[in-house]
Chain A
């Protein structure tokens, strides 16, 4: 079959082509139909790619038939296929939800633009996951980022504009740092292909040029993934973006940046052994733990629940980085499986909140008093995903924390394990604070006006909340994929 051979290119090109189609259609419903259909097609293609990798192992796709070190190579292995599935699955589910949510939050004349931006962003994120070329990754990073800035700016509140502006400035600085890093690595090796870079870097890693390149890469990608001290753009962006955009970005954007970090820093620079020598892993661990504790602590004090969830995202990125910083296969696998688990539960939480915003026009904690009794189904989904955020058994949150703590203890770092548990306790506070108000407080005047969310929003919310339980009860599938992905990324690092 010729089509299946070209799946790696199609999965990126199809959403890219869908965007101008959305713009030309101009009609909100038609644009939504194109965007949603494209997202589901991408999910199908990603799933096919994952199966192909599972059956036959990793493979490459030569773009335009140019051989690898010169042409751009798309490399599909367990790690990239897993990220492809995560991103396209979240996009597919959120796209179902987006029609009603966008129709309510964005004025009629601009709705088609949201759907167009949504597919452009999807295309960029999928491109980052699939490419095997360091510079190509930058291009996709900017495709996804530029569309994200515009999507955030579509928020109803005028503060969405300043949030988008702040994100644009920091995001561009981050992307430019990344380009500097790639440039310095190119200067020393003469190649941009990731596999080629990994092979040639060990010979030149003693030079300050290559080391500076690594530093620029780490800071650049760190900004994009909102790693702890570089997270300042994130809370505003998630709090003021349209609900559907928050749910989509919370589940995908920072995850894909973490993947870029895994590819470039662990995959490419891992082979040089510099991560262990220069105490980089230790520094990463400190940053990860700080993010984990500070992010969760700050989340407790927020009155806007979306902002609380955004700070919680900073903490969750900390968990993933902690897994990476162990530099063992088990730690990496725990980090990677948490990418999936966190995407599912955080998107579910944002979708449930989006339903509240649809009915109340507010997500401030005081306005949500007693909303659980008015919108029981949406809020039950929030409760399930919230419990998963805490790490209650039988949810995905428990699975990731279990494997993470196990990997930490395996290295004998029990104080770090204690800090993970402490951060989970903080999560109990910030989740339970909201749950208590929602279910047990006397309904506010505003909450009494609310009715249950429409079916088109309930179903996607429950799809993700259900997945949070499903993959929490039986994690063998996701863990197997995460372990295989970790093994791919660790090949250069050694044990």
Chain B
């Protein structure tokens, strides 16, 4: 198994965000984690990238236990996290944002190769590379955030709500690129979404998180689109 989360619990003070959650991701997959606002989706990604400590449980990536690893070492091991709200550096240029994504890459030639690759996926970033990150539109910022995560040549990409605040046409575009990256660059993708419809269309498998626990596991994401509970809760049926 590529990534294995075993009985993970995360809490903020007295509030439990995740309780004994287990899930796994196989190499090469796109896996979606669905759930309502506050279900604990972001906590899951934050725990994997180690910016939030796990209360109990274990996280195993590529055979290594990363539960107690420092965030920078998680990046070095090949996990990139594209966070909620994009969190791009507004005062830095687009190019500097991308360079920061490759902070753990010590070989300058490798950084240039990655940069060219990102520019082929997101040509708009090349045009705007000298602009400050804060001057980009929402869609461009999302592209920058995804591009920045890819600069470290990750094996696993954690995507937190890539569709948030974007027009439907842009959402399709972003998901198309994510699929392309998954296929061509062999990057495994673990994404969380409120937009269940879009996520299930593109994912191989899915988990549904409710009140900090996994409520549904599906090995066929498209099948979930027909699940009455999912339709009622997440697809506005």
- Are A and B a genuine interacting pair, yes or no? no
Q: B-side interface residues toward A, CB under 8 Å?
A: none
Q: A-side interface residues toward B, CB under 8 Å?
A: none
